[in-house]
Chains A and B, each alone.
Chain A
Amino acid sequence: MVDDSTRKTLSCIPLLKTKAGPREKDLWVQRLKEEYQALIQYVQNNKTADNDWFRLESNEQGTRWFGKCWYIHNLLKYEFDVEFDIPVTYPATAPEIALPELDGKTAKMYRGGKICLTDHFKPLWARNVPKFGIAHAMALGLGPWLAVEIPDLIEKGVIQYKEKSDV
């Protein structure tokens, strides 16, 4: 299922309470607030653990999110753009995180660069509606995917290290 470190990470992210999609104005705000609080907490956790691996920001309504994520392999940092929309049925439906850069480079990806999540992800998410939010989706979906796919892609030479320093 989910490995220990992921679980540990997950448990450190505060759970959400409000069940509301973007369409429900008042409640969505409430939800968005909780989303942010969770994300902040998650990022802080990552920072303290020297495990910071993404940057995210959203539009004003908080329906579309975008940013960057990275993975360090053999002391080299591989960085990718990341984007996703909040589905209307959110939070019943999980957001579909996409890495457009890697579209067509790996089998574990839908068209448009949407990553193929593990079999466990969906039922786990379904069970935890509305407690899981974006932070959880990142930790549970994208994190493990990167850890599995990137070293493989690097091995295959599908992605090369780009000499660029973002900081």
Chain B
Amino acid sequence: MTAVEWEEVKRLAAGFQRAQLISTTQRLSERNCVEIITKLVDMKLLNIIFTNDGKEYVTPNQLVTEMKDELIVNGGRINITDLAKVLNVDLNHITQRVSELLKQDRTIALVGGQLIDQTYKTHLAEEINEILNQQGQISVGQLTNQYDLPTEFLQEVVEKNLGKIIRAKQDRQDPKVFFTEAFVARNLAAIRGALIGTMKPTPVNTLLNLCGVEDHLFFSLVDKLMFLKQVPGTLSGKQISSSMYVPSIYSKSQSIWVDNFYKQNGYLEYDALAQVGISDGQSFVRKHFPSENLLLLSGAAVGPLFLGQVAACVEEAINSSTWTDIMTVLPSVFDGHDGEQILNEVLKTVKTPGGSVPSVKIFNGTILVTMNFLNKITIPLKDVLQKRAEQCVASGAFQQWQVDRLNVTEDNGKREEFKDEKVDKRDERRKKAAGGKGGGGTQGRETKTKSTKKKVRSGRGGADSDEDENPVPSSRKPSILEIVSTEDIIGIISQEQSFSNLDEEDKTPLLKEIAKHLHVSVNKTALEIAQSVLENTMSNNVGARRKTRNDLQEKLNNLITNIRLFEKGLKSFSTDVVPPAKESPHSQLSKYLLKTFCTDVANEIAGFIAQERMLQWDSSKDVLQETRQKIAQDSGGSTKEAILKLNKSLVGSSIEEFFSAIELALGSEVCDIVIRKPDKKKERNMVFGHRQALLEQMNLSQDPAEVLHTASIVLCQGVTQNMVHASGRHVNILLAYLKPYLPAATNATLQQYYDLVLKLLSTAESSEAERETVTFQLQEKMPVIKEIANTFKKSENKEQAS
């Protein structure tokens, strides 16, 4: 075994030797080759290009071929740097060869460091076409991103192949966008659909969102559709954000609505327009009705038709001389301000049948009242005016007012009066003028009224505007004398029939307005009436002054004679003070006399003086101490002194004092009234008459107290032979006085009766039964008392006779 193996080893050793002896294959090592080639290149015998690792060489031609091959392999597009990597050749060599290559083959292009040949371009165009088919439209920008190629190149490629490979259209507005017919048709259809479907104005933005059309396409497509007349509507604005599409059906229905509304109503309300989508009503109306002569108000436009209606209404009112509130004619959409404008507009055109400008007055802006109507309603006022004026004059308020005016102006009374009259006349004239022009328009009317008012005021101030332009400050001016108040006027004019069908709500302000308007003129008239009334009374006075004076003289004479007679009677009473009374019967009775007849005399004198001096004095009222005092203060001078003295004498208890005061008062300086001397015969007659009157009164009377009173007076007169003036309170004094002159029985009867009367009066509120018995007793005894008085008279008469 081992031997065999050793043999084998030997064989192997021999084989090894053989193997070692085999001549080595004669081959050039790499090193040698490199050396050889370096040598050749050095010797310029060889033009080759080294590969990057230096282990390979390429001839330039081979390189160009390889580049071409690579280009083809890579589908016609290859980056130069990639080429350098793939071919393992330095980039410099590649770039050098590229220029050669481009020269050789015109179809190859160098784009952005990439080689691109015709096949790639064709392929690219086909691809773009495919994308276009899918997407419908494409922009070069998109392609640039997708293919990483410059825009210009792609643009060129697409444009070159447009219509050949790429079946699309270039966007006219944006040459970088291309789209297919189908895409355009699709969008067109979408837009058409959207636009046709739109029923109201829609922002383009919304439309775009709805139909998914690109912004930039929209307008060109809409233009196209418009051109083809396939879109029923108009597009406003050329910007996506601001433009609106207004379908013609909408604008048509809008205008139909507007037309209808206008035709039916004659006016157009902006609010209503806004509801149907017209935001700027005024300009719309102007555009829509260029031929119509519309009156543009703040809230509505009013057409001539409607104005005609109002005008008819106004005309009717004018012709029938009544009034009208145009607010009742106007629809509720118009407010007062609109009504005012409409009325003004209407008044410009309205004419009376005679063709003249109607004389009207406008109240509350919308209520037209004809002057005729105003005149009509003032007719019933006249009576009231007359009454009021008379009242005013009678009460002296008018005179007082005039005096106040005089005081303010400190002017000559007569001259003032004259002036006043002048002013009044002028006012009248102005009033007439203003009234006449009232129909001419609001402006004119208002200014007129104002100016009139102003002048009236200055006239009231007493300063004639021609003479004195500076008005007296109003605070110092006497207020106008209001003879007739606005309330009075309202009260009267509200009875006018045409107001009766008005609501209370509407009526009141209207009446107030009219009354206010009328008030000035009416009051003026009232003042005039008052003036004339006063003048009348004044002239009457002058004529009748003498008569009055005579009357007064007569009256005073009578009174004074009476007083004298009473005074004579008084003298019979003692001046001694009887214990229970604080004063003597004489002073008590003289005080009573002073309080009654003497006061009457003083009043007559005061009244006369007041009338004479034109002082405010109400003769109807009771004249009091204060009134006389006031008259004294007002008259001044000796009159004042006389009246004061008279007043003083009245307070006292001396009749003599009174007489001296009367003498002074009636003296030539004050009243200048002559008092007649006492006439015995006349006095006797008077005494007799007085007694008869008393008796008659007593006989007629059923009142126990009165009967007793008159009876006692009659008895006293019988005793004293003089007239006695006493009140019921003085009955006990009279009875006491009578005592010595009468028989005891009579005295007792009288005293009893007096007690009963006292009892009746004092028990006035006590028990009914007692009262009845007393009354009964009194009634029973009344004939007895009457008898006493009558019989005494008779007996006295007898005495007188004997």
Q: Could you tell me the distance between the alpha carbons of A50 and B13 in the complex, rounded to whole angstroms?
A: 22
Contact in complex: B24, A52 (CB < 8 Å): yes
Chain B, residues 339-374, CB within 8 Å of chain A (1/0): the string is: 000000000000000000000000000000000000
Known A-B contacts A33-B5, A62-B9; the reply to A56 vs B25 at CB < 8 A is no
Q: Is B540 an interface residue (CB 8 A)?
A: no
Q: Taking CB as reference atom, which chain B residue is nearest A167?
A: B23
Q: Is A36 an interface residue (CB 8 A)?
A: yes
| A40 in complex: contacting residue of B1, B10, B12, CB < 8 Å | B12
User: Which of B14-22, B232-240, B244-252, B596-604 forms part of the interface with chain A?
Assistant: B14-22
Q: Quick check: is B242 within 8 A (CB to CB) of the other chain?
A: no
A53 to B: closest C-beta gap in Å: 10
Q: Are A55 and B8 in contact (CB under 8 A)?
A: no
Are A36 and B22 interface neighbours, CB within 8 A? no
- Whether A37 is near chain B, meaning CB under 8 Å from some CB there, is yes
Question: Judging by beta carbons under 8 Å apart, are B9 and A55 in contact?
Answer: no
Q: Judge whether B802 is part of the interface by a CB distance below 8 angstroms.
A: no
A30 to B5 Cα, complex, angstroms? 8
Chain A residues with a Cβ closer than 8 Å to the other chain, count: 23
A18 vs chain B, min Cβ distance (A): 12
**Which chain A positions have C-beta within 8 A of B13?**
36, 57-58, 62
Partner of B6 from A29, A46, A57 at Cβ < 8 Å: A29
In the bound complex, CA of A37 to CA of B2 (Å): 18
CA distance A115 to B770 in the complex (A): 188
Residues of chain A with a CB closer than 8 A to B1's CB:
26
In the complex, A56→B2 CA distance in Å?
24
Q: B475 in the interface, Cβ–Cβ < 8 Å?
A: no
The docked-state distance in angstroms from the alpha carbon of A62 to that of B308 is 148
Question: Which residues of the other chain, B, contact A26 by a CB distance below 8 angstroms?
Answer: 1-2, 5
B27: interface (CB < 8 Å): yes
In the complex, the 10 A-B pairs of residues with the closest C-beta atoms, listed nearest first: A36-B12, A29-B5, A52-B24, A43-B19, A47-B24, A40-B19, A50-B27, A40-B16, A32-B9, A43-B20
Bound state CA distance, A48 and B26, in angstroms? Answer: 9
**Contact in complex: B8, A33 (CB < 8 Å):** yes
Q: Are B16 and A36 in contact (CB under 8 A)?
A: yes
Contact (Cβ within 8 A) B12 A37: yes
Asked if B29 is at the interface (CB within 8 A of a chain A CB), the reply is yes
User: How long is the Cα–Cα vector from A36 to B16 in the complex, in angstroms?
Assistant: 7
Write the chain A residue with the least CB distance to B9. Answer: A32
Q: Is A118 an interface residue (CB 8 A)?
A: no
CA distance A30 to B1 in the complex (A): 11
- Closest chain-A Cβ to B608's Cβ sits at a distance in Å of 166
Judge whether A39 is part of the interface by a CB distance below 8 angstroms.
Answer: yes
Q: Which of B5, B16, B19, B22 has the most CB of A within 10 A?
A: B16
Residues of A within 8 A of B27 (CB): 50
- Find the B residue at minimum CB distance from A62: B9
Nearest chain A CB to B349 CB, angstrom units:
120
**Is A25 engaged at the interface, CB distance under 8 Å to the other chain?**
yes
Listed in ascending order, the chain A residues whose CB lies under 8 Å from chain B are 25-26, 29-30, 32-33, 36-37, 39-40, 43-44, 46-48, 50, 52, 55-58, 60, 62
Classify chain B's interface size: 20 to 34
Contacts A33-B9, A37-B12, A57-B17; is A47 near B22 (CB within 8 Å)? yes
12 chain-A/chain-B pairs, Cβ below 8 angstroms: A33-B5, A33-B9, A37-B12, A39-B16, A47-B19, A47-B25, A50-B27, A55-B20, A57-B17, A58-B13, A60-B10, A62-B13
Closest to B3 in A: A29
Taking the closest CB of chain B, its distance from the CB of A119, in whole angstroms, is 29
If A26-B2, A44-B19, A47-B22 touch, whether A36 touches B9 (CB-CB below 8 Å) is yes
Q: B residues within 8 A CB of A58?
A: 13
Known A-B contacts A33-B5, A33-B9, A58-B13; A50 and B29 likewise in contact (beta carbons under 8 Å): yes
- Least distance between B278 CB and chain A CB atoms (Å): 94
By a CB distance below 8 angstroms, the chain A residues around B10 are: 60
User: Given A36-B9, A50-B24, A52-B24, A29–B15 Cβ distance below 8 Å?
Assistant: no
When distances are taken between beta carbons in the complex, the residues of chain B under 8 Å from A44 are 19
Whether B12 pairs with A33 at a CB distance below 8 angstroms is yes
Cα–Cα distance between A25 and B5 once the two chains are bound (Å): 11
Chain B residues contacting A52 (CB-CB under 8 Å) are 20, 24
Residues of A within 8 A of B6 (CB): 29
**Contact yes or no, A25 B16, CB < 8 A:** no
Select from chain B the residue with minimum beta-carbon distance to A25: B2
Q: Chain A contacts of B17 at CB under 8 A? A: 57
B19/A48 in contact, CB under 8 A: no
| Besides the known contacts A40-B15, A62-B13, 19 further A-B residue pairs in the complex with CB atoms under 8 A apart | A26-B5, A29-B5, A29-B6, A29-B8, A29-B9, A32-B9, A33-B5, A36-B15, A40-B12, A40-B16, A47-B22, A47-B25, A50-B24, A50-B26, A50-B27, A57-B16, A58-B13, A60-B10, A62-B9
Q: Which residues of B contact A39 (CB under 8 A)?
A: 16
When distances are taken between beta carbons in the complex, the residues of chain B under 8 Å from A60 are 10
Q: Within the complex, what minimum Cβ distance (angstroms) separates A67 from chain B?
A: 8
In the bound assembly, the distance between CA atoms of A9 and B10 in angstroms comes to: 26
Contact of B25 among A43, A50, A57, A62 (CB under 8 A): A50
**With the chains together, A7 CA to B20 CA distance in Å?**
22
Nearest CB of B to A68, in Å: 10
How far, in Å, is B272 (CB) from chain A's closest CB? 100
Which residues of the partner chain B approach A48 to less than 8 Å between Cβ atoms? Answer: 25
Contacts of B29 in A (CB 8 A): 50
Q: Shortest distance in angstroms between A162's beta carbon and chain B's nearest beta carbon?
A: 21
Residue ID in chain A nearest B27 by CB atoms: A50
Give complex CA distance A40, B11 in Å. Answer: 12
Q: What's the Cα separation between A135 and B8 when bound, in Å?
A: 19
**Chain B nearest CB, measured from A105 CB (Å):** 27
Chain B 726-755 near chain A by CB (<8 Å), digits 1 or 0: 000000000000000000000000000000
In the bound assembly, the distance between CA atoms of A52 and B20 in angstroms comes to 8
Chain A residue with Cβ nearest B26: A50
Complex Cα–Cα for A52 and B19 (A): 11
Considering the complex, give the chain B residue whose CB is closest to the CB of A34.
B12
State the CA gap A14–B801 with chains docked (Å): 214
Q: Which residue of A lies closest to B21 (CB)?
A: A55
Residues of A within 8 A of B24 (CB): 46-47, 50, 52
Q: How far is the CB of B49 from chain A (nearest CB, A)?
A: 27
| Alpha-carbon distance A167/B29, docked complex (angstroms) | 20
Contacts of B5 in A (CB 8 A): 26, 29-30, 33
How far apart are the CA atoms of A52 and B12 in the complex, in Å?
A: 19
Q: How far is the CA of A44 from the CA of B19 in the complex (A)?
A: 7
Most chain A beta-carbon contacts within 10 A, residue among B12, B20, B24, B27:
B20
- State A29–B3 Cα separation when bound (angstroms): 10
Closest to B13 in A: A36
In the docked arrangement, what's the CA distance between A131 and B430, Å?
Answer: 150
**Within the complex, what minimum Cβ distance (angstroms) separates A20 from chain B?**
12
| C-alpha gap A36/B15 in the complex (Å) | 9
A134 to chain B, nearest CB (A): 10
Task: Write the nearest CB–CB distance from A123 to chain B, whole angstroms.
Answer: 29
Q: In the complex the two chains form, what is the Cα distance from A44 to B20 in whole Å?
A: 8
**Nearest residue in B to A39 (C-beta to C-beta)?**
B16
B19 — which chain A residues lie within 8 A by C-beta? Answer: 40, 43-44, 47
Pick from A30, A32, A50, A56: contact of B20, CB under 8 Å: A56
B residues near A36, Cβ cutoff 8 Å: 9, 12-13, 15-16
- When C-beta atoms are compared, the residue in chain B nearest to A52 turns out to be B24
B residues near A29, Cβ cutoff 8 Å:
2, 5-6, 8-9
Tell me the B9-54 residues at the A interface (CB within 8 Å): 9-10, 12-13, 15-17, 19-20, 22, 24-27, 29
CA distance A26 to B26 in the complex (A): 41
Tell me the complex Cα distance, A55–B17, Å.
Answer: 8
Q: Which residue of A lies closest to B30 (CB)?
A: A50
- A37: chain B residues within 8 A (beta carbon): 12
Shortest CB–CB separation between residue A157 and chain B, in angstroms? Answer: 24
Q: Give the shortest distance, in Å, between A22 (CB) and chain B (any CB).
A: 12
A43 to B8, CA, bound (A): 19
Task: Give the Cβ gap from A109 to chain B, nearest Cβ, in Å.
Answer: 25
Complex CA gap A32/B16 in Å reads 12
Across-interface contacts of A46 in B (CB, < 8 A): 24
